[in-house]
Amino acid sequence: MPRIRKASSATRPAAAVPAEWDLSGLLSHPVRDSDLILKQLDQQVSQVEARRPALAPDLPVGGFQDILRLLEEIASLSSKLSANAYLWFSEDTKRAEARSFKTKVEERLAGLQNRILFFDLWWQSVDGPNADRLMAASGDLRYHLETIRRFKPHTLSEPEEKLVNLKNTTGRSAVNTLYDLLTNGLTFTLTLNGRRKILTREQLSIHVRSPKARVREAAYKELHRVFGGQQDMLGEMYSTLVSDWKNENVTLRKFSEPVAARNLSNDVPDEAVTALLSACTQNAGLFQDYFRLKGRLCGIRRMNRYHIYAPHPADRGRYRYPDAVRMVLDAYRGFSPALADLVRRVIDERHLDARMRPGKLSGAYCYSAVPGLTPYVLLNYTGEARDVATLAHELGHAVHSMLAADHSVFTFHATLPLAETASVFGERILSDALMAQETSTAVKQGLLISQLDDIYATVVRQAYFVLFEKTAHDMIAKGATTRDLSAAYLDTLRQQFGKAVPVPDEFRWEWLSIPHIFGSPFYCYAYSFGNLLVLALYQQYRRQGRAFVPQYLELLAAGGSKSPEAILSRVGVDIRSAAFWQSGFDTIAEMVSELERTAD
């Protein structure tokens, strides 16, 4: 792995575009060091195994904590190793060495994980009073221990669990790698200013936001031509993944329905998810009104699905990377200097890989391996306003886990429903800071439009992905083909957009291009959850001002040490209530009215 020579942050221009990130905080030489680490892990696992005969419900607290400490060490070391494998792979998904390293690490870790599986199974079998006795003395690990027990009704026998783990590395995980490999290798052809250009997915997707209607349309058509061209391969991968999900979660683990497995791992009651999704369908009309209005304000002659992300004429165009970094830092500083310092640390330690290049994993993510190690952020910076927001977003993830660094490796990660809180809040902080600086009505109109576009893309669009997935999982169980699924997808789009935004037929292929639908079934409602939640929290911030900040930082610092419901109830949020989700949409409705007023 090419490691950049060490440079002190004092001698380096603070905001230079980072060429590649510095992974030396993980392993200096992954292939060589990993053997050493795997050996060390092997020894630690043997130590846990040696304690197996002592496991009994009346196990003394000391012995129990001894095992927990070993398990924490194993989890930390494993997590560093898998982080290294994944980050290295993301730098260049075409590098064979990185791919085989990732596979090797996954297989070896799954093997080690299998050897300590008995602990979780034993822990699930401990009677209530003894479990309470042991948890009472486990401090921060309590929620982690509760989490293991929560899965008891859906846990198989030890040999079965081992088999599932082992087969997953060559099963669903291999199919996911194939999906990444195939889709990251796709290229797209677009004629721009009379010249044919070969583009990556990332480069192509810039053009769906082009100021020219013809280019937006051509970009979508090309996206769907290429993905539609892979329908057989991708459709087969999808039905494999969906059948695997059903076989494991419904048939073997006895979940009531496919989405219930995701809900339990999110620790969100099924009824809260239902309330969230129905709030989204009930408010689809709000975005239909918005897109009608947007069409008028942006001079779009005939609004349809090609044009929903059209830029406002006052959009400022491109942002240089150093300016983007400065804007994001300033915005965070305006909200809380402590948060800005954490953001600064990610940048100064060069844990940020922003440069776009062929083979690099598309999209953006933040990877927090262990508490105390500054998280790593990957993005593909193209200079669009959207990328500045992505920067604020991913750095929000980073500060979230940095604030929670006092927790154990088992409890510092926010659980999924809260995982998007700090990231989306970061985006709100950024857009608010930009709004506050603006004096021109036209530019304000542009900012409101870009915020509403984002809210659409992260709330309603994501909810409809999940609604589609629910249908697709049902349909595949009944033998549906890729064509059937695509027709169903087109239906959900048409329900979503109504008459306000006609959806051309080719959008039936769009779902093939959404990685989460393949890689993490039902994941996307976490975005709707997180975004609506943040809209509500941001209202609280506006009302309470400074007094809100410590309360919010405390919410982030809780990481994943309690259930989402418990963490949120401390700030007065009830996730089961329809009224709460509706309040998020009320905030959006206010923004649409504000936009309407700028039109007068």
The number of beta carbons lying within 10 Å of the beta carbon of residue 546 is 9
Shortest Cβ distance from residue 115 to Zn ion (Å)?
33
* Of 293 and 346, CB closest to Zn ion: 346
Shortest Cβ distance from residue 111 to Zn ion (Å)?
31
Shortest Cβ distance from residue 397 to Zn ion (Å)?
6
**What is the DSSP secondary structure assignment for residue 460, as one 8-state letter?**
I
Site string for Zn ion, 261-280 (x = CB under 5 A): --------------------
* Of 114 and 390, CB closest to Zn ion: 390
Angle between helices 117-125 and 96-115 (to 10 degrees): 40
In the chain, the largest separation of any two C-alpha atoms, in whole Å, equals 77
The helix (run of H) or strand (run of E) holding residue 329 is: helix 321-335
Tell me the two tokens of residue 196.
């044919």
- Rounded CA-CA distance 150/577 in Å is 23
Shortest Cβ distance from residue 365 to Zn ion (Å)?
8
Pairing state of beta strands 352-355 and 376-381? Answer: parallel
Phi and psi at 119, nearest 5°, equal -65, -50
- Rounded CA-CA distance 565/234 in Å is 37
Which of these ranges, 104-112, 245-253, 283-291, 416-424, lies near Zn ion under the rule CB under 5 A? 416-424
* Of 90 and 423, CB closest to Zn ion: 423
* Of 99 and 397, CB closest to Zn ion: 397
- Rounded CA-CA distance 424/531 in Å is 6
The number of beta carbons lying within 10 Å of the beta carbon of residue 510 is 22
* Of 240 and 382, CB closest to Zn ion: 382
Angle between helices 578-599 and 525-544 (to 10 degrees): 70
CA 573, 578, 584, 590: dihedral to nearest 10 degrees? -130
Q: Where are the beta strands (DSSP E) in 452-522?
A: none
* Of 239 and 423, CB closest to Zn ion: 423
Shortest Cβ distance from residue 393 to Zn ion (Å)?
6
* Of 155 and 423, CB closest to Zn ion: 423
Shortest Cβ distance from residue 42 to Zn ion (Å)?
34
In this structure, are residues 294 and 397 in contact, taking their beta carbons and an 8 Å threshold?
no
Shortest Cβ distance from residue 350 to Zn ion (Å)?
21
The answer to whether residue 231 forms part of the interface with Zn ion (CB under 5 A) is no
| Residue showing the smallest CB distance to Zn ion in the complex | 423
**417-476 residues near Zn ion, rule: CB under 5 A:** 423
* Of 246 and 397, CB closest to Zn ion: 397
Shortest Cβ distance from residue 453 to Zn ion (Å)?
17
What is the size of the binding site for Zn ion (CB under 5 A)?
A: 1
* Of 423 and 496, CB closest to Zn ion: 423
Give the residue among 401, 417, 400 at the shortest CA–CA distance from 409: 401
The number of beta carbons lying within 10 Å of the beta carbon of residue 128 is 8
Shortest Cβ distance from residue 375 to Zn ion (Å)?
12
Shortest Cβ distance from residue 362 to Zn ion (Å)?
15
In this structure, are residues 417 and 530 in contact, taking their beta carbons and an 8 Å threshold?
yes
* Of 328 and 488, CB closest to Zn ion: 328
- Rounded CA-CA distance 490/461 in Å is 13
By the 10 Å C-beta count (0-12 exposed, 13-18 middle, 19+ buried), 436 is classed as exposed
Shortest Cβ distance from residue 331 to Zn ion (Å)?
17
* Of 37 and 568, CB closest to Zn ion: 568
The number of beta carbons lying within 10 Å of the beta carbon of residue 10 is 7
Identify the three-state secondary structure at position 198. strand
In this structure, are residues 169 and 78 in contact, taking their beta carbons and an 8 Å threshold?
no
Q: Residue numbers of the site for Zn ion (CB under 5 A)?
A: 423
